[in-house]
Structure 1
Amino acid sequence: MQTLIVWLEGHDKLAGWAQFFGAMLALVATYFTAFVPIWHRKHQLNNAAKRLLSHGFEVVESYHRTSAFFLPFPISLKAAARSISAVVDEINRFPVFELDDQGERSTARHLFALVATLDLIRMALENFANDLEGKQASEDDRDFIRDFVGQHLEFIQKMLAGEELKRPEWPPEASLNPS
């Protein structure tokens, strides 16, 4: 280090350049120490959002896979609805608008679509539970519920896989005003 200082003193015209490069190095170091925590937070938010998407898929997939092995009864349907509700609550607490990607196929939009789908499944399961209150469910009831949940599971799976999702089309023969 001493040799470098002596050399710079001997070449006084280069001392200004050395000072310039030292100042630039200090600015770069300051820049990184100021913005690395922000980048780290954004990375953590993105990972947390992906984890929430995974939880939403897993709660529906878990019910769909296990429901094939038993006939539904009201308390099992209500328990499934509560599990789904817990995931919905967790997603609703997430700061979605702090995510960087807000485009059409963004993680934020996927979270909103997932919450809407999970809420629909939850409401349907609660409704099925109320319909089955006080009576024995049949295999047809089980198959109907599994088909309903399976269709929405397929939607969630396609959404998470990045496939293009088509909007449902109104049947041409159906009328909005049946008069």
Structure 2
Amino acid sequence: MSDLITWFENHDKLAGWAQFFGAMLALIVTYFTAFAPIWRRKRQLKLSADRLLSHGYEAIESYHRTSAHFLPFPLSLRQAAMTMMVMSEEISRFPIYELDDQGSRSVARYLVTTSTTLSALKLFLETYAADLDERIATEEDQEIIRQFVGERLKLITDMLTGVKLERPEWPVKNPAESG
């Protein structure tokens, strides 16, 4: 121990370096302490957004999978529409603009698309339930509903799996044909 003290006494400029490294360590600890809550919040937001996407997908997928096993009737369609509405509202309450990435293939954009798709399904199912007018749907009705829900499910599946989505091309009349 006395050798160490002697060594420190013989190297008097070492105190300046010790102060420098101590100050740097204090700055680094302060930086990480100050930003740790922000980083934790961003990680929690990302995990919550991923969970909401998963729940939205599961709501559509679950209805599509189970709807093959029964003929829908107005009340069952309204219940499915309510499920879609609840998930859409849950996504709408999420603070998507606090997420870091806001690009075209971002979780924020996926949440908006999923919410819109769920709202469209709600509208479709409620309208179809009103059209049934207290009767049980036929197999043809069941197929129409499953096809519509299946197309929306494919859109969400493709989006979440990274398939490049193309904008729809609407039929355009040839100017020569319209005259």
The answer to whether TM tops 0.5 is: yes
* Residue of structure 2 equivalent to 1:24: 24
Q: Give the 3 Å change call, closer, same or farther, for CA 6–24 of structure 1 in structure 2.
A: farther
* Residue of structure 2 equivalent to 1:138: 138
Tell me how far 1:123 sits from its aligned partner: 0.2
1:17-96 superposed matches below 5 A: 17-96=17-96
Taking only aligned residues, the RMSD between alpha carbons, in angstroms, comes to 2.1
CA offsets, 1:35-82, max 9 Å, x none? Answer: 111111100000100000000000000000000000010000000011
- 1:108 maps to a residue whose letter is A
Distance in structure 1 (CA, Å) of the matches to 2:113 and 2:80: 19
Does the 8 Å contact 1:9/1:15 carry over to 2? no
Report the TM-score when normalising by structure 2: 0.92
Structure 1: runs of 5 or more not aligned: none
3-state secondary structure, aligned to 1:71:
coil
Q: Give the 3 Å change call, closer, same or farther, for CA 39–155 of structure 1 in structure 2.
A: same
CA offsets, 1:7-36, max 9 Å, x none? Answer: 333311121011100110111111111111
Q: Give the 3 Å change call, closer, same or farther, for CA 6–54 of structure 1 in structure 2.
A: farther
Identity %: 58
Report the TM-score when normalising by structure 1: 0.92
Structure 1 runs (4+) greater than 2 angstroms displaced: 1-10, 172-175
1:112-151 superposed matches below 5 A: 112-151=112-151
